[in-house]
Amino acid sequence: MQPASGLQCKCLVAHSFPLAVAIFVTTNLLLAYGLRRFARPAVWVTGLMLILFPLFSVTSDWYSWLTWVKRYSIVVPAFLWAFLRDQPGHRFSRVLVAALPYVLILNVLEVGLFELQGPNPLNGLAIAIVGFCVPLKWSQRGAKCQFGFRNPLWQAAYVMSLARFFWFHPSFENATAGALIVLALASLLCAAERDSQNYVTWRLYTLYLFVLQDSFFPNLSEHLYPEWMHPENRLLLQGTPLAHGWLILNCVLVTALLVQRLRAKRLMSSAEAAN
């Protein structure tokens, strides 16, 4: 029989979860909007965080250099992205335009390789294919010439395969809810704008803010970690029809993405041959 204090603690966590989610979402949205809306301050903020990140991060549970690399793989691109949005005509920005698609590819492949070594290798393969299918030519479109690309099919395959990774991989503990929330927020913000051109901006800034929170104030993530989100409880869905259906959906999306990429290459080859 559990002690009364233990039961009381679980009740407090259960009741605080909806409030914690509301606060987390509101704060993340407001700060992400600020970074996107105010390009010059975004450069200063993200640049300052590059200096403060190693000084104020709570690294007691960062057991390997890979943890540092994974977090810096978000913190550094956020600064570069802010610089690109503030100085699109700068000589360095032209280098970034060519390099950033490959940064995204490496970030997605990193997740895919991690998943391939875990309990869901087929989903890891799907994530890796999504990484290889990142468009290499991005554009500046829309009323404010936002840099990015429009490909709702790629975004759907990316979101669904990563969501399955976050849910079923046992290494994700108190970061699970935050990772899933910011993954969904980027898509919801694009839907609100009725334009997927800004997906990379929203995805990077919302994830960046989550990484800062989880690095500077990791204890706050405990409020987003009710018992039903513990790995042993999440993994109860493994092998169920829902889990199988989710994997099948991911495979369908990735297959459609490959078909889309092959058709695009065929049309490009036909156009080049015609010229």
Structure confidence by residue, pLDDT tens digits, 57-93:
988 877 777 778 889 999 999 999 999 989 888 889 8
Q: Residues 206-265: pLDDT tens digits?
A: 999 999 999 999 888 888 888 888 989 898 888 899 999 999 999 999 999 999 998 888
pTM passes above 0.85:
yes
The pLDDT, as a whole number, for residue 142 is 55
Residue 5 pLDDT grade (very low, low, confident, very high; cuts 50, 70, 90): very low
Give the distance, in angstroms, between the CA of residue 82 and the centroid of all CA atoms in the same chain: 17
Residue 103 has pLDDT above 60, yes or no: yes
The pLDDT, as a whole number, for residue 275 is 66
The pLDDT, as a whole number, for residue 163 is 96
Between CA 176 and CA 168 the distance in angstroms is: 10
The kind and range of the H/E element at 191 are helix 176-193
Q: Residues 128-169: pLDDT tens digits?
A: 999 999 988 888 765 555 788 889 999 999 999 999 999 998
Query: What are the domain boundaries of the chain?
Result: 102-267
Between CA 205 and CA 207 the distance in angstroms is: 5
The pLDDT, as a whole number, for residue 274 is 72
Give me the percent of the chain exceeding a pLDDT of 90: 52
Decide: helix, strand or coil at residue 275: coil
CA nearest neighbour of 203 among 71, 52, 78, 26? 78
